[in-house]
């Protein structure tokens, strides 16, 4: 594997000598490597290399063009700001391509890309540090704000219907019927729980269809570990993992951010008594997000922020359970019931979120009232 990575790395336009290759196990979809180079001027520099999962992302060039457009737009905007943040840059190959393609062991085409690594940065899968959570909310808010006037018609859908919860629910019911790998037996409790909580599935899609909430550029994978923070100050530096940046609703990212950054456990924690939404962290994330985005949201977006948390947590629980039922064809898994355990974790989190609906809603409204008077500017 190391030899193969070395060969791939050499296809990219980087003037240096490879010193070290590390595999990064974060991320449920793509495979990531961090490579340290000794540059021609003697300095050490890290670069990120990723193998794109083409079962999930079927059109890697289309995806890379999206990312190039987005990262160019963000770095231009950032350069005009007083407080600048570093941005991701796509590193091209020596023959000026966005990807290098090789033939894998099974004869399939494999697509690799490279980015600069963000210097002195760190990311977390779980953090109880309120500064980390506040800055994660702020980072995704800032990301949406930077892209507020991005020409959305130039952005491609890399995964159609990614957050179409209603469609995902219909497919799930169908997969339960098909039961292709005989896993439905023994998970009737989880299936029943999803059915009983399915009244949320069209809350956001209906708002989009009726034109009450706008289609904007959204990240669509607003997980806590997709934000790079300053290793020392914990301030946010940049948002990464731009594969799912697509036209969507701001609500998807807020909901996913709370789901991910404010849970008291990691996504595959087995002890469900440890899984709940931490009120303090929820408040910090909401403060951070609204400190950037409050003046940019309309009344329907504000009044549906709670709903977005419920919808996205329901959706991810459903996606993990669906993948378990289908024989683990989508998410990377480490053992046979990994997806089932992740699903149970998200369903417990959903249960806890629903029990806090009134409190969550009132905190969002109170914070919005404080933040909305901010001047609408970048
Ligand atoms: C996947 O690649 P990663 O780990 O950042 C998934 C998200 C899920 C997340 C759950 C393209 O994100 O939608 O919310 O796992 N990405 C894709 O951990 O499906
Ligand atoms: Mg990721």
Per-residue pLDDT of the chain (378 residues; tens, 9 = 90+): 788 899 999 999 999 999 999 999 889 999 999 999 999 999 999 999 999 999 999 999 999 999 999 999 999 999 998 889 999 999 999 999 999 999 988 899 999 999 999 999 999 999 999 999 999 999 999 999 999 999 999 999 999 999 999 999 999 999 999 999 999 999 999 999 999 999 999 999 999 999 999 999 999 999 999 999 999 999 999 999 999 999 999 999 999 999 999 999 999 999 999 999 999 999 999 999 999 999 999 999 999 999 999 999 999 999 999 999 999 999 999 999 999 999 999 999 999 999 999 999 999 999 999 998 876 665
Q: Are 299 and 364 in contact (CB under 8 A)?
A: no
End-to-end distance of the chain based on CA atoms, in angstroms?
Answer: 44
Fold assignment, 130-377: Aminoglycoside 3'-phosphotransferase; Chain: A, domain 2 (3.90.1200)
Rounded to whole angstroms, the Cα distance separating 263 from 202 reads 24
Instruction: Tell me where in the chain the CATH 3.30.200.20 domain(s) lie.
Output: 2-117
Confirm or reject CATH 3.40.50.1980 for domain 2-117, answering yes or no: no
Q: Is the CB of 203 under 6 A from ligand 1?
A: no
Of all atoms in ligand 1, which is nearest to the CA of residue 220? 13
Q: Tell me which ligand sits closest to the C-alpha of residue 28.
A: 1
Q: How far is the CA of 210 from the centre of ligand 1 (A)?
A: 28
CB atoms within 10 A of CB 122: 15
For ligand 2, the distance from its centroid to the CA atom of residue 53, given in whole angstroms, is 12
Which atom number of ligand 1 is nearest to the Cα of residue 241?
A: 5
- DSSP assignments along 170-192, one per residue: HHHHHHHHH-TTS--TT-HHHHH
Facing residues of 23 across strands? Answer: 33
Biggest distance spanned by C-alpha atoms of the chain:
62
Find the radius of gyration of the CA atoms of the chain: 21
Whether the Cβ atoms of residue 378 and residue 145 lie closer than 8 Å to each other:
yes
Span from the CA of 259 to the centroid of ligand 2 (angstroms):
14
Handedness of CA 336, 342, 348, 354 (dihedral sign): negative
CATH 3.90.1200.10-classified regions of the chain: 130-377
* Structure tokens, 20: 């070290």
């Amino acid at each position: 594997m190391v030899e193969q990575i070395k060969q791939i790395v050499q296809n990219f336009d980087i003037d240096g000598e490879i010193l070290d290759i590390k595999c990064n196990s974060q991320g449920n979809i793509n495979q990531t490597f961090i490579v340290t180079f000794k540059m021609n001027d003697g300095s050490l520099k890290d670069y990120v290399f990723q193998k794109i999962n083409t079962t999930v992302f079927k059109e890697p060039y289309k995806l890379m063009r999206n990312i190039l457009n987005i990262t160019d737009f963000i770095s231009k905007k950032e350069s005009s700001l007083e407080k600048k943040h570093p941005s991701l840059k796509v590193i091209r190959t020596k023959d000026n391509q966005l990807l290098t393609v090789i033939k894998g062991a099974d004869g399939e085409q494999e697509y690799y890309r490279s980015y600069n690594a963000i210097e002195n940065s760190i990311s977390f899968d779980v953090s109880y540090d309120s500064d980390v959570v506040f800055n994660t909310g702020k980072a995704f808010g800032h990301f949406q704000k930077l892209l507020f006037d991005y020409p959305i018609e130039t952005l491609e859908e890399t995964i159609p219907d990614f957050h179409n919860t209603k469609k995902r629910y219909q497919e799930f019911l169908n997969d339960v019927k098909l039961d292709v790998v005989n896993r439905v037996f023994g998970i009737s409790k989880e299936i029943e729980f999803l059915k009983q909580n399915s009244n949320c599935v069209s809350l956001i899609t209906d708002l989009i269809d009726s034109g009450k909430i706008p289609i904007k550029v959204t990240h669509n994978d607003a997980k806590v570990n997709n934000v790079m923070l300053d290793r020392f100050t914990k301030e946010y530096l940049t948002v990464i993992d731009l594969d799912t940046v697509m036209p969507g609703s701001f609500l998807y990212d807020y909901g996913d951010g709370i789901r991910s950054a404010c849970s008291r456990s990691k996504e595959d924690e087995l002890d469900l008594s440890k899984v709940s939404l931490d009120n303090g962290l929820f408040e910090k994330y909401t403060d951070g997000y609204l400190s950037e985005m409050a003046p940019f949201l309309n009344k329907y977006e504000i009044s549906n922020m709670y709903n977005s948390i419920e919808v996205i947590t329901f959706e991810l629980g459903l996606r993990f359970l669906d993948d378990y039922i289908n024989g683990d064809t989508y998410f990377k898994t480490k053992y046979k019931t990994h997806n089932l355990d992740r699903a149970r974790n998200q369903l417990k989190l959903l249960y806890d979120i629903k029990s806090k609906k009134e409190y969550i809603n009132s905190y969002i409204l109170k914070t919005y009232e404080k933040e909305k008077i901010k001047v609408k500017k970048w």
